[in-house]
Amino acid sequence: MSMSAARRAVGLGLVVASLALPGLASAADPAKAGPDQLTLQDGTVVTGTFSEFIPNNRVTVLVNGESKTYQWSFMRKATHDGKVVAENQPAAALPPPVVVVQPQPQQQVVVVQGQTGAQAAPQAALEESVLVHMEGDSDAVLEMQDRKETNAFSPVCNSPCNKVLPLDRMYRITGDGMKDSRPFKLSGSAGQAVSLDVNPGRRGAFAGGIVMTVLGPLTLLTGSLVYLVGAAQSSLVYSSSSGFSTSGDGSGLKVTGGILMIAGAALTAVGIPLIVSNARTKVTQDVSSPVRKDGFLRTPTFRNAANDVPMPATSEFTVFARSF
């Protein structure tokens, strides 16, 4: 082979390699679908991969290997590859949204995507949730049970707050200087709104009630004894050396005893209600339907032909006529 033929062969090989490399690179690095995002009504953003997307029903997001399912009424918008594919619109105002997702290379995306093959594992149970609004004392903190099988609780939000929370967990109210409430479950069903009204039990008031309840009876008993001593002294008769007899004066002791008895009764009357009202923080739940987002829309009105006023009859007359 001559030198020129060898050079031509080498050049041809370089051209073929330059044309093949982009194809290999694109095959080795297929397009990846960007992360999906689900924005809730309270502003929380959940980032993961949509594993189930049923309009007007529910959305399931796979986050770090864990499936989280949310009711459709709690969703504000859903984003796939940076594009908004669905927004929660009132059913009365607009028809159900149509989700159109462009499939990526080597990936099939449908509206309802199931798990197949090796990924066919039992789906996590649907976690029903409600929208919780807490109001009351500003020191109140809502805590949620970490897991169903433990007694550990973690803070969720401070009063006042709005939060979407699951129904299958236990909750309690705590706070600085407050007595903990009894663990409770949220009332209502999925999709409803629950309002928590907190009536705090103060540790200081509870301790003060105990002190008053202990000191009250003691003061009452002491006052009674002092009053009896004064009454007994008033009934005694003393004989003097001159032959005159006089009675003792116990009026001062009786007055002192009466004051002590009144103070003891007052301490007891105030201390017992303080203990009862501050023994624990009390929580009242009010369940209601979620607030409609189409309240500002005008109610549609329909035309009733029976109430229409007919147009008056028109008169016709000839302005110009000509014949040929």
Q: What are phi and psi of 246, to 5 degrees?
A: -130, 155
The answer to whether residues 227 and 195 belong to one domain is no
For the chain, residues with pLDDT lower than 70 are: 1-34, 89-127, 148-149, 236-248, 290-324
Domain that holds residue 231: 203-277
Residue with tokens 């009390």: 282
Q: What is the pLDDT of residue 124?
A: 37
pLDDT in tens, 135-159: 877 789 999 988 766 788 899 998 8
| Contact between 179 and 203 (Cβ < 8 Å) | yes
pLDDT at position 116: 44
- Among residues 159, 176, 199, which one ends one of the domains? 199
Q: What's this model's pTM, rounded to 2 decimal places?
A: 0.44
Q: Does residue 12 lie within any of the structural domains? A: no
Which domain CATH number covers 172?
A: 2.60.40
Q: For residue range 178-188, what is the model confidence (pLDDT) as tens digits? A: 888 999 999 88
The predicted structure's pLDDT at residue 262: 94
Q: Are 142 and 171 in contact (CB under 8 A)?
A: yes
Asked if 189 and 207 sit in the same domain, the reply is no
Residue 232 forms part of a structural domain: yes
In the chain, the number of structural domains is: 3
Q: Are residues 107 and 65 in the same domain?
A: yes
* Assigned token pair, 22: 């982009």
Please indicate, yes or no, if residue 166 is contained in any of the structural domains: yes
Residue 84 falls within a domain, yes or no? yes
Residue 27 falls inside a structural domain: no
How does pLDDT run across 173-218, given as a tens digit for each residue? 998 888 889 999 998 888 888 999 898 888 889 999 999 999 999 9
Q: Which residues pair with 47 in a beta bridge?
A: 37
**313 three-class SS:** coil
Q: Is residue 167 part of a domain?
A: yes
- Side chain identity at residue 43, one-letter code: G
What number of other Cβ atoms are within 10 A of residue 308's Cβ? 8
Among 119, 139, 156, give the residue marking a domain's end.
Answer: 119
Distance between CA atoms of residues 21 and 28, nearest Å = 10
Considering the domain architecture, whether residues 52 and 111 belong to the same structural domain is answered as: yes
Structure tokens that stand for 235 in this block? 């009934």
Q: Are 248 and 229 in contact (CB under 8 A)?
A: no
Same structural domain for residues 165 and 236? no
Of 119, 141, 169, which residue constitutes the final position of a domain? 119
Residues 160/105, Cβ–Cβ less than 8 Å? no
With respect to residue 68, please indicate whether it lies within any of the assigned structural domains: yes
Q: What is the pLDDT of residue 270?
A: 93
Contact 268, 217 (CB under 8 A): yes
The whole-number pLDDT of residue 107 equals 45
246 located within any domain: yes
- Mark whether 266 and 222 lie in a shared domain: yes
Say if residues 162 and 133 touch (Cβ distance below 8 Å): yes
- Are 48 and 107 found together in one domain? yes
